[in-house]
């Protein structure tokens, strides 16, 4: 699941990116308001963590532009000032929640998860299942037939994407944009290598085989046809 963090303070930005990545999210990071505005308006993020005090285009303008454009992505805004005015303003502009800096990362993560769960995303069930493959989303765990499969964060994100889009052929470019971040070069064979590793863990010891290569097109996860 892909999030956008808009934060100009390098330390906070890096801390957020690292923490959220470790929690299993794909994180796009904008280090100024202009990039943040652009990514917020054009990206496909499930949630935006938005710092209010930015040197160029501030968080209020980004939030207002988003809502005026009818984009209803959840926004958690970060404010340095513990001012009621700021909070009211943010919520009036259509933010979904706010945190006052400094905050504990665990607090931010809990808010993010709550917003995503509350969200408009019907795919946010706690569990996803195809055949005997089960993804436990809150715990970031996968199993087949009750056997736990140990996956890295990236592998889990990749598998989650394939399961959510079951039956669709996903081109490498789409996988790159959803599982890696925006700076990722999808011409590399990183995706093929990741898929190979994932298949070794998810399919090799189990049946039916779920992940398939569609030559020249990409990858898909689905139940095999009866005659396969
Ligand atoms: Ca700031």
| Nearest-angstrom CA–CA distance, 25 and 211 | 22
Write out pLDDT tens, residues 157-209.
999 999 988 889 999 888 888 888 766 666 668 889 999 999 999 999 999 99
State the distance from the centre of ligand 1 to the C-alpha of 101, rounded, in angstroms. 10
State the distance from the centre of ligand 1 to the C-alpha of 120, rounded, in angstroms. 28
pLDDT at position 139 is 81
* CA–CA–CA angle 65, 45, 154 (5° rounding): 160
State the distance from the centre of ligand 1 to the C-alpha of 118, rounded, in angstroms. 27
Q: Note if the pTM is more than 0.85.
A: no
**Ordered structural domains, the chain, with CATH:** 2-118 (3.40.50.2300), 124-221 (1.10.10.10)
Pairing of strands 2-6, 47-51: parallel
**Which of left, alpha, beta for 165 (phi over 0: left; psi -120 to 50: alpha)?**
alpha
Which range, 4-18, 76-90, 183-197, has the best average confidence (pLDDT)? 4-18
State the distance from the centre of ligand 1 to the C-alpha of 160, rounded, in angstroms. 33
State the distance from the centre of ligand 1 to the C-alpha of 46, rounded, in angstroms. 22
Find the helix or strand (DSSP H, E) in which 18 lies. helix 10-22
Mean pLDDT of 18-34: 94
């Amino acid at each position: 699941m892909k999030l956008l963090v808009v934060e100009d303070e390098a330390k906070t930005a890096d801390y957020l990116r690292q923490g959220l990545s470790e929690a299993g999210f794909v994180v796009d990071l904008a280090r100024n308001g202009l990039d943040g505005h652009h990514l917020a308006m054009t990206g496909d993020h499930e949630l935006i963590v938005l710092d209010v005090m930015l040197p160029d285009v501030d968080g209020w303008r980004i939030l207002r532009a988003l809502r005026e454009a009818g984009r209803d992505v959840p926004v958690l805004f970060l404010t340095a000032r513990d001012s009621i005015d700021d909070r009211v303003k943010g919520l009036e502009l259509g933010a979904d929640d706010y945190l006052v800096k400094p905050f504990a990362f665990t607090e931010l993560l809990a808010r993010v998860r709550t917003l995503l769960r509350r969200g408009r995303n019907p795919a946010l069930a706690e569990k996803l299942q195809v055949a005997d493959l089960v993804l436990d989303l809150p715990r970031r765990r996968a199993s087949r037939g009750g056997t736990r499969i140990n996956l890295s964060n990236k592998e889990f994100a990749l598998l989650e994407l394939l399961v959510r889009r079951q039956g669709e052929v996903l081109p490498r470019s789409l996988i790159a944009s959803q599982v890696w971040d925006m700076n990722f070069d999808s011409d590399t064979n990183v995706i093929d290598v990741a898929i190979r590793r994932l298949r070794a863990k998810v399919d090799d010891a189990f049946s039916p085989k779920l992940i398939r290569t569609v030559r020249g097109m990409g990858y898909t996860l689905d139940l095999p046809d009866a005659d396969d």
